[in-house]
């Protein structure tokens, strides 16, 4: 609709009869990892309508009345594609509560791995990390935080044996030269290749891969004798929505980039990871500008203490491949989880996560519906059966299978959790002692 030309006596613009003609074709917000500037693909997470980004040539009506509801739906995890074989259940072994199943292709499902042996859970606390010198930032300014942290943040350049490559970020976590980053940044070099680390001063060195955890999308590399101070960890469980934060890394290859924002949300179920490796994260959400190449860099509070590892961003579906960037929705792995995983990787090169040995229906909403329970597994011993719908864990509501997965992954093997569930419409409770799986 075009407004009438400005002139004396011009009639006022008629009120539109409805907004259906002005609604944009449905698009969706999806989340991707960004260790590689040109990643071959990403997995959708948040379907929903995106507000138009291109300038309109003429009159633009106000948003539809249900705009807020449309935006809220953008945070609902997307449903996996329908199985061409007619099987509506995608089996995954719960990580931390269920083991994550990776879909190898259309219609394929990963084999469930359930721990059913009564082995004791070993304490894998590992060496002390994240205990660098206290920056003692008192002004709370972004410039002061940047000055304190920049020397500890490095850029990673990875080349795989198959000529694949990736770039990302990392930060020094101890005096032995261990550097924490994302698994999807370094996974190309897991079976050969090279990892180059470049410090703030521009000095490059070859790093060795100490260990990686696809389940948590974390990895540790090491450079002996690196001239960079260790960071100090904060506590992500004490982060509050609205607090100021700073993100540091190498977006698009621009090393030493500093951006600022706030913690936008906590406990956000997010998927991350590289090609063929999916990680489920109970993430901190931030609007600090992070872009491809920021992966593995630190998210820090205004005391210059690390509270998260930047790992993923949300992008608008339909954007040209490789052109997507920050839209104010970034996600970081909480440092409380990253600390435990990094310690395990340094100690043994491997990391563990909890399991219960059950499968869940990824399409079901209104809880996490169990589709299969492995005999002798923790879930079986707790009395869970096929068809049970888990509605909460330790009084934390569970709306989807993803929500259950990330909630349980915040725990450790050997811990006891309480699951509230429904069987044939009747409420029940189960106490589950978590097993463990390596990955």
Q: Position of tokens 């929500």?
A: 403
Average model confidence (pLDDT) for the chain?
76
| Alpha carbon distance 44, 268 (integer Å) | 15
Output the pLDDT for position 277. 73
Q: What is the mean pLDDT of residues 134-159?
A: 90
Please give the residue that has the higher pLDDT: either 439 or 320: 439
Does residue 230 sit within a domain?
Answer: yes
Does residue 223 sit within a domain?
Answer: yes
**Domain span holding position 157:** 124-353
Residue 352 phi, psi (nearest 5)? -115, 155
Tell me if residue 178 is catalytic: no
Does residue 135 sit within a domain?
Answer: yes
Does residue 266 sit within a domain?
Answer: yes
pLDDT tens-place string over residues 293-318: 999 999 999 999 999 999 988 877 65
Q: The pTM is what? A: 0.70
Does residue 185 sit within a domain?
Answer: yes
| Residue tagged active-site, from 78, 169, 236, 295 | 295
Output the pLDDT for position 12. 52
Residue 130, C-beta contacts closer than 8 angstroms, at least 6 positions apart: 173, 174, 230, 231, 232, 233, 306, 335, 339
Does residue 383 sit within a domain?
Answer: no
| Residue tagged active-site, from 174, 217, 301, 420 | 217
Asked if residue 102 has pLDDT above 70, the reply is no
Please give the residue that has the higher pLDDT: either 22 or 372: 372
Output the pLDDT for position 117. 36
| Alpha carbon distance 41, 286 (integer Å) | 23
Does residue 333 sit within a domain?
Answer: yes
Tell me if residue 301 is catalytic: no
Please give the residue that has the higher pLDDT: either 49 or 362: 362
Please give the residue that has the higher pLDDT: either 46 or 202: 202
Output the pLDDT for position 381. 92
| Alpha carbon distance 106, 87 (integer Å) | 12
Please give the residue that has the higher pLDDT: either 299 or 72: 299
Output the pLDDT for position 276. 62
Does residue 290 sit within a domain?
Answer: yes
377-412 per-residue burial string, b: 16 or more CB within 10 A, e: under 16: bbbbbbbbeeebbbbbbeeeebbbbbbbbbbbbbbb
| Residue tagged active-site, from 184, 187, 392, 420 | 184
Asked if residue 103 has pLDDT above 90, the reply is no
Tell me if residue 184 is catalytic: yes
Instruction: Tell me how many domains the chain contains.
Output: 1
Q: Enter the tokens of residue 287.
A: 């609007």
At 143, which CATH number?
Answer: 2.40.10.120
């Amino acid at each position: 609709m075009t407004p009438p030309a400005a002139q004396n006596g011009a009639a006022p613009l008629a009120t539109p009869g409805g907004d259906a003609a002005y609604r944009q074709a449905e698009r969706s917000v999806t989340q991707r990892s960004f260790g590689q500037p040109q990643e071959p693909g990403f997995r959708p997470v948040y379907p929903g309508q995106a507000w138009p980004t291109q300038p309109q040539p003429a009159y633009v009506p106000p948003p539809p009345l249900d705009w807020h509801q449309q935006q809220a739906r953008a945070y609902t995890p997307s449903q996996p594609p329908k199985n061409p074989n007619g099987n509506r259940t995608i089996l995954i072994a719960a990580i931390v509560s269920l083991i994550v199943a990776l879909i190898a292709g259309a219609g394929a499902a990963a084999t469930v791995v359930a721990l059913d042996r009564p082995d004791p859970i070993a304490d894998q606390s590992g060496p002390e990390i994240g205990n660098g010198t206290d920056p003692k930032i008192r002004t709370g300014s972004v410039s002061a935080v940047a000055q304190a942290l920049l020397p500890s943040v490095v850029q990673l350049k990875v080349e795989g044996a198959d000529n694949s490559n990736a770039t990302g970020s990392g930060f020094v976590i101890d005096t032995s030269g261990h550097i924490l980053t994302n698994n999807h940044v370094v996974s190309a070099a897991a079976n050969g290749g090279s990892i180059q680390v470049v410090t703030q001063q521009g000095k490059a060195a070859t790093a060795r891969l100490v260990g990686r955890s696809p389940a948590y999308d974390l990895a540790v590399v090491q450079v002996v004798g690196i001239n960079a101070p260790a960071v100090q960890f904060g506590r992500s469980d004490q982060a509050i929505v609205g607090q100021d934060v700073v993100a540091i890394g190498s977006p698009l290859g621009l090393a030493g980039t500093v951006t600022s924002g706030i913690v936008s949300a906590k406990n956000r179920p997010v998927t991350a990871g590289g090609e063929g490796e999916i990680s489920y994260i109970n993430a901190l959400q931030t609007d600090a500008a992070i872009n491809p190449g920021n992966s593995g860099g630190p998210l820090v509070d205004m005391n210059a203490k690390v509270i998260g590892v930047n790992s993923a961003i949300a992008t608008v579906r339909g954007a040209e491949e490789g052109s997507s960037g920050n839209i104010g929705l970034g996600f970081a792995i909480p440092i409380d989880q990253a600390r435990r995983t990094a310690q395990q990787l340094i100690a043994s090169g491997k990391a563990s996560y909890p399991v219960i040995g059950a499968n869940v229906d990824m399409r079901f909403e209104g809880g996490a519906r169990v589709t299969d329970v492995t005999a002798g597994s923790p879930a079986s011993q707790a009395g869970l059966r096929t068809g049970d719908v888990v509605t909460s864990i330790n009084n934390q509501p569970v709306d989807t299978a993803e929500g259950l997965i990330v909630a349980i992954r915040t725990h450790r093997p050997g811990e006891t959790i309480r699951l509230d569930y429904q069987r044939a419409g009747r409420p029940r409770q189960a106490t589950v002692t978590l097993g463990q799986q390596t990955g």
